[in-house]
Amino acid sequence: MPPADAALRAAAELGPFCAVDDDAGPGAVDLADGDTLLRARAAAVSAVLGSAAAAREVHSLVHLGVVARVLSPALGAALATGVLPVPASVVLQPVGSNPVPMAWAGVRAVAVRTPDDVAAGLAAHWLTPLVDPWTAAVAARSVSPRVLTGNVVSALHGTAVVVAGARPGLAARTRAVLDALLAAGPLAGTGGWRPDGGFARRSCCLLQRLPGALPCADCVLVGLPA
């Protein structure tokens, strides 16, 4: 099994969202300090979007962006190498456009050979200990947990698209991991496949209400079987 640092190097080759930095820069905030991270990131995003952006929609956008940033290297490494890197802590730069600088500490390697292993490993080592507290911090600021859970599956699907685009040979494994995530565990039933093969989440993310936003590619309203 490759060590965690080798898995992270392989993930970084998939694209900038899948890369982990040595240093997240001045003012970086621990993911575990969800209130501070949300406040700082929401202020930075609101400054770009302007006063027409309502707080709830900004918070959903911030939640989705942070989840995508923190999970992309983990999923990318697991898909590319069969090793899930699991950090003891994650710090992010709250200012700037995504992918923002992000650094991990205390990273260990967990073997995830099959798609079911990847899905179970993500749930046990990432979603429950690292993402759920962040989601709870955002939920406490008025965004519904259903919206936020949908953001998590949307973020993972977004990473899957990036990985399959960068390494077409991983497309089948990527699809199998998404199927496993949707079949069991904390993300079961949060999304599905349209007849045309596209992915759709089962809850709205609110992003289209933001100034200048386009309809979401995985919009809940478009074509998902009941």
Interacting residues toward ligand SF4 by CB under 6 A: 204-208, 215-216, 219-221
Residue 135: exposure state from Cβ atoms within 10 A (0-12, 13-18, ≥19): buried
- In the bound complex, what is the minimum distance in angstroms from residue 97's beta carbon to ligand SF4? 20
Looking at the Cβ atoms of 93 and 203, the one nearer to ligand SF4 is: 203
Q: Which residue, among 54, 71, 18, 213, has the nearest Cα to 142 in the 3D structure?
A: 54
Nearer to ligand SF4 by C-beta: 44 or 219?
219
Residue 24 CB, nearest distance to ligand SF4 (Å)? 29
Whole-number Å distance between alpha carbons of 82 and 102:
22
| Shortest Cβ 161–ligand SF4 spacing (Å) | 16
CB of 151 to ligand SF4, least distance (A): 10
Closer to ligand SF4 by Cβ: residue 9 or 202: 202
Q: How far apart are CA 122 and CA 117, in angstroms?
A: 8
| CB closer to ligand SF4 out of 24 and 57 | 57
Q: Detail the DSSP E strand segments found in the chain.
A: 29-30, 83-86, 89-92, 102-105, 108-111, 191-193, 199-201
Q: How many helices (H) and strands (E) does the chain have?
A: 7, 7
